[in-house]
């Protein structure tokens, strides 16, 4: 087996186990199935987009932050209030993150076809991250919120303002997740129907 095929077999085996164990967000399953149905591609990691509450002085301190809660779906203000009330951390930031996928591609041509589909779907920060026996593509949108909910022990938003904020956050999450459907539709044109056109 060539190295790409071997890597693909390992990745698909691991994805099957995750699917079976319910560790994959349903929102992203159709897109993963489509991509992994082509012998030119396999996915190595994915997130369909999420809302995350983290205890950290500054956002982006990946190795020092504590993830307090996360949701891969729109949120009720009540759910957020409960988490806030139960948390003693002095600094809390809420992030809305769009989908992110890492896809191994057999060739540069396959990677470029994927990138074009991603751009048409509005995943505009997508790019090739490395080249070797496989071409690694990161698919990424620019949809993002990263806002403080507590600073130095003081809650930033209350009452109607918190409700309004949750509503906007949900809208950004759904807008970002919608790009997955658009990407699947674009990829159908490239991969679809069993016939490979790249």
* Site of interaction with a copy of itself (CB under 8 A): 57-60, 108, 112, 115, 125-131, 137-138, 140, 142-148, 151-152, 154, 156-157, 160-161, 164-165, 168, 171-172, 175
Which residue lies nearer to a copy of itself by CB, 12 or 168? 168
Q: Are 124 and 141 in contact (CB under 8 A)?
A: yes
Least CB distance to a copy of itself at residue 193 (A) = 26
Which residue lies nearer to a copy of itself by CB, 21 or 154? 154
Report the alpha-carbon distance of residue 71 to residue 77 in Å, rounded: 13
Least CB distance to a copy of itself at residue 146 (A) = 5
Which residue lies nearer to a copy of itself by CB, 12 or 112? 112
Query: Please, what's the b/e burial string for 27-49 (b: 16 or more CB within 10 A of its CB; e: otherwise)?
Result: bbeebbebbbebebbbbbebbbb
Least CB distance to a copy of itself at residue 152 (A) = 5
Least CB distance to a copy of itself at residue 171 (A) = 6
What DSSP assignment string belongs to 13-60?
HHHHHHHHTT-S-GGGHHHHHHHHTSTTEEEEEEE--EEEEEE-SSTT
Which residue lies nearer to a copy of itself by CB, 24 or 140? 140
Q: Are 98 and 179 in contact (CB under 8 A)?
A: yes
């Amino acid at each position: 087996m060539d190295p790409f095929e071997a890597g693909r077999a390992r990745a698909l085996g691991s994805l099957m186990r995750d699917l079976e164990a319910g560790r994959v967000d349903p929102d992203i399953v159709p897109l993963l199935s489509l991509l992994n149905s082509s012998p030119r591609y396999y996915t190595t990691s994915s997130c369909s987009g999420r809302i995350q509450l983290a205890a950290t002085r500054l956002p982006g301190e990946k190795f020092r932050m504590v993830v307090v809660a996360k949701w891969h779906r729109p949120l009720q203000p009540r759910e957020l209030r409960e988490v806030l009330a139960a948390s003693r951390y002095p600094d809390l930031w809420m992030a809305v993150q769009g989908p992110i996928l890492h896809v191994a591609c057999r060739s540069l041509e396959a990677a470029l076809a994927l990138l074009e589909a991603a751009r048409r779907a509005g995943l505009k920060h997508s790019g090739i991250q490395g080249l070797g026996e496989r071409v690694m593509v990161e698919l990424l949108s620019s949809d993002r919120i990263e806002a403080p909910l507590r600073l130095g022990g003081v809650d930033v938003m209350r009452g109607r303002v918190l409700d309004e904020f949750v509503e906007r956050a949900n809208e950004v999450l759904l807008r970002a997740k919608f790009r997955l459907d658009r990407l699947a539709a674009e990829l159908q044109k490239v991969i679809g129907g069993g016939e490979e056109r790249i």
